[in-house]
Structure 1
């Protein structure tokens, strides 16, 4: 059974939301960019079996991002200069 459009969009938003929880600016921007690129790359996919595999992969990536965010919060670093500048502007 192929995933519904709503489920894919929900999964996309969930991954982006988790990616934005990274404390480190570089990880955060990389994860958001990779997520957007991956979903855009496959946006015209019509084969139900391929879509199902992609959704399964995205779900496992979501779980991985959640774990990485948690680890990052446990062993966090200070903000980068670019992050401090954005808060003062």
Structure 2
């Protein structure tokens, strides 16, 4: 008996689930790797025309989602310090006329004493 093809709705739900699980990794490098990897796998699956191979890819990605969720939980359990690239850059004052001034750090003409 032939198995049914996954619907577009089911495929999109699987994609969103994998992206959500990928974003839940505490580690910056793991998080970005799994997001890129998920997008690449779904791009390859989207161009597949053979129904049997499409179904196999869907089933494999469904199993991979369960593994990804478990791996994300373990990754959060052993979370390390944030990388410098993850920390937001806070602008505290400054006297330049660049981004500091536009973010409220600089003193404009109207605020100077006469």
- The structure carrying a bigger helix percent of its residues is 1
- Higher-Rg member (1/2): 2
- Which of 69, 72, 95 does residue 69 from structure 1 map onto? 72
User: TM-score when scaled to structure 1?
Assistant: 0.92
Match of 1:56 in 2: 59
Shift in Å at residue 42 of structure 1? 2.0
Match of 2:37 in 1: 34
Match of 2:24 in 1: 21
RMSD: 1.1
Shift in Å at residue 88 of structure 1? 3.1
Q: Matches of 1:53 and 1:42 in 2, distance apart?
A: 10
- Provide the aligned length of Structure 1 versus Structure 2: 87
Query: Gaps spanning 5+ residues in structure 2: where?
Result: 91-114
- Which of 78, 81, 84 does residue 78 from structure 1 map onto? 81
| SS in structure 1 at match of 2:46 | coil
**Deviating 4+ runs (over 4 angstroms):** none
User: TM-score when scaled to structure 2?
Assistant: 0.72
Q: Provide, for residues 26-57 of structure 1, a one-character-per-residue CA deviation record: whole Å limited to 9, x for no partner.
A: 00000000000111112122222111111111
